[in-house]
Every structure is written in C-alpha cells, then in structure tokens.
Amino acid sequence: MYDCVIIGGGPGGVTAAIYAIRSGMKTVVVEKIGVGGQIALSDIIENYPGFPSISGLELMSHFENHAKGIGVEFVSADITGIEVDGDKRILKTAGENIETKTVVICSGAEAKKLGFAGEEEFIGRGVSTCATCDGPFYRNKAVAVIGGGDTAVKESIYLSKIASKVYHVHRRDRFRAEKVLQDRIVTKDNIEFVWKHTTEEALGDVSGVTGLRVKSVDTGETRDLDVDGVFVFVGITPNTAFVDCDKDEQGFIVVNENMETSIPGVYAAGDCRVTPLRQVVTAVGDAAIAAFKAEEYVSELEGRAYDKVGAQGVTLK
C-alpha cells in the first residue's frame, strides 16, 4: 500500500511527488499519457520565476528530471474512481486497483467546447484546441482564433508567426488576458480583431474547414471568414469526474487552505481545484501544501495504529 498516490503528472503532480518522497512517503504518480500536463503544450512561459522565457515542454522536462532524480516513480493508468475503505483509499483503474493512505489530485483541466455548428464534425479536420499541436498545419494559411483569455491571446500570437493571417474573434470588445499579452498582440500586423462577434458555424466540406461564420453582437449580421483552421480557446473544464467529493457547479474541486477535499486523506491542487488563479506557480504552491498535509495525515494514521497496538498490550518498539 502506498502512503501517497498523486493523480496527474503536470506541474502540480510532479511537485507533490517531490515533496511527498522527500518527506519519506511511499509515493507514486499516476498519469494517463505522460509527464507534462497541459502546460507542456504551451510554446512559451514567461512568468515562472527563474526562467524568463522557456517552452512548456522544456520546463516540464526539468520538473520530470528533478523528480526522477530523487526516485519518484511514474505509472501509466486512467483512474476511474476513488473508494474509501476505512483508512484505505482505493483508486479504481481498468486494470489493478491501487491502494493508498492518501491521494493528491492534480488532474488539471482540458479545453472547453463552444458548441457551434460543425465544431464536433471538424475536430481534427480544421477545428482544434491546441495551437502548438496543430498550428504547423496552417503555415501560410488563414486561421481564426476564438476567445479572450490568456490562452486565446497567447496562442493567437503564436499562430501569427505561422499563419499568413489570424482573425481573432471575441464576443466582447476587450480581452480578459493579462496586460502584457494584450500589449503584445496589438503589435502583430497579421492579426485582425473581430470584436463583439459570436461564432455561428464552421463551414467546410470533405476536405475540412473552409470558413467560419460569425455574427455581430450589435447588429446580428453574419460574416464568413475565409479560413482553413479554427482554434477554440474559451476556457477550461476540470478532469474531476472520477472523484465524488464537493465541487463547484463547473466541477472544480472545493478545498480548504490545506488543500483538503471533502474526503479525508484526499487533497486537490492546481487547475482542477476552485482557485482564483491558474498558473504553473500557483499549481506548484498548492501541491507543496497538499503533500505536506498528506504527510501529516499519514503520520497521524501511523500514530493511531501505534496507540492501538499499545492498547492491546503488545510490546512497543
């Protein structure tokens, strides 16, 4: 039985593992695909202290090397449920279940869908939620980007270096992205802002997307943008369906300041939890607290077991 199982191998998960193993807990990180998480898809990170400019992939390779260098074990599995059996937390998988005393959930979040006509139909054939994965297919072609948060603005800037033209569609007339990104995007000559427009439909044929129909919020008039690709960045949805604990209406896990969920011995950190800020730096801070509190929990359990043995008159070591 493990002392601590960490679900997710993004920045939060790897940090929790580093803290957990250093505190002497028998620890494993369970990850669906590979170490890195969503941030590994980010072309550039400029707000993680110590690294003025680094790709997500490179930053995560530093995290991974650090963890593996001190003996953190990573296994590949898809957790489908968490059951409580006394002091045991049983993680359900398609294969063997995993037993542990504590769990730190760092399962992150994934891109939300917008729900316009053609979005599902053209996923992988012109509609995408990952600029670093699919951007290179649109070299010298026109693309549309939808959304006004950090992700949309960052990815629009990235795509402007590959595509001949980027139509940046947003439902309001201002971005919510951080100021430094707003200042940067307006310097890009090949980005045309399509303010106060909603998305109606991805147009296309058997070859894939050939256009995007957008609609003015003010006049209701529609306009067809001549694009080959549509990138949707309208927020995130948490990967938390496998755990039955207190969550908000969108599924983000509710924790207290100790990162404790409503299930004793189960903690949550990073993007999957209710939090005012989702950054690498906040995920790693959350994760350090979660692992620290998990270790305290395990120590208390062990203390309890020790007391029980003592009470039964067994010689104590």
Residues acting as catalytic residues: 130, 133-134
Q: Which part of the chain contacts ligand NAP (CB under 6 A), choosing from 29-37, 50-58, 230-238, 296-304?
A: 230-238
Q: Which residues pair with 238 in a beta bridge?
A: 109
- Backbone φ and ψ for 197, nearest 5 degrees, come out as -130, 140
CA nearest neighbour of 183 among 146, 157, 155, 144: 157
One residue of 125, 184, 215, 278 binding ligand NAP per CB under 6 A:
278
Sequence-distant (6+) residues with CB within 8 A of 205 are none
Which pairing describes strands 165-169 and 142-146: parallel, antiparallel, or unpaired?
Answer: parallel
Interface map 168-187 toward ligand NAP (x if CB under 6 A): ---xx---x-----------
Q: Which stretch binds ligand NAP (CB under 6 A): 51-59, 132-140, 188-196, 229-237?
A: 229-237
What is the C-alpha radius of gyration for the chain, rounded to an integer number of angstroms? 23
The alpha helices in 144-263, defined as continuous H runs, are 150-160, 179-185
Give the other-Cβ count within 10 Å of 179's Cβ. 8
Q: Point out which span in 72-80, 137-145, 158-166, 233-241 binds ligand NAP (CB under 6 A).
A: 233-241
Of these, 235, 254, 285, 292, which contacts ligand NAP (CB under 6 A)?
235
Which positions from 280 through 299 interact with ligand NAP, judged by CB under 6 A?
Answer: none
Other residues' Cβ atoms within 10 Å of the Cβ of residue 233: 24
Give the C-alpha distances (Å, rounded to integers) separating 166 from 44, 140, 231: 19, 10, 10
Neighbours of 104 (CB within 10 A): 34
Residue from 60, 227, 236, 259 binding ligand NAP (CB under 6 A): 236
- Is residue 297 within 8 Å of residue 307, measured between CB atoms? no
Of the candidates 102, 129, 239, 279, which one interacts with ligand NAP according to CB under 6 A? Answer: 279
Closer CB to ligand NAP, 98 or 212, in the complex: 212
Task: State how far the Cα of 18 lies from the Cα of 74, in Å rounded to an integer.
Answer: 12
Looking at the Cβ atoms of 149 and 208, the one nearer to ligand NAP is 149
The reply on whether position 114 binds ligand NAP by CB under 6 A is: yes
Footprint of ligand NAP on 26-55 (CB under 6 A): 47
CB of 315 to ligand NAP, least distance (A): 55
Name the residue whose CB lies closest to ligand NAP.
149
Q: How far is the CB of 149 from ligand NAP (least distance, A)?
A: 2
152, 159, 253, 294: residue in contact with ligand NAP (rule CB under 6 A): 152
233 binds ligand NAP (CB under 6 A): yes
Tokens 């690709």, residue located: 229
Tell me: does residue 148 bind ligand NAP (CB under 6 A). yes
Size of the site for ligand NAP (CB under 6 A): 18
Q: Answer for the pair 159, 145: CB distance below 8 angstroms, yes or no.
A: yes
Q: Does residue number 151 form part of the binding site for ligand NAP (CB under 6 A)?
A: yes
In the β-sheet with 165-169, what is the strand arrangement from edge to edge? Answer: 127-128, 229-232, 142-146, 165-169, 191-194
Give dist(CA 154, CA 38) in Å, integer.
14
Say whether residue 250 binds ligand NAP (CB under 6 A). no
Can you give the binding site for ligand NAP, defined by CB under 6 A? 47, 114, 147-152, 154, 171-172, 176, 233-236, 278-279
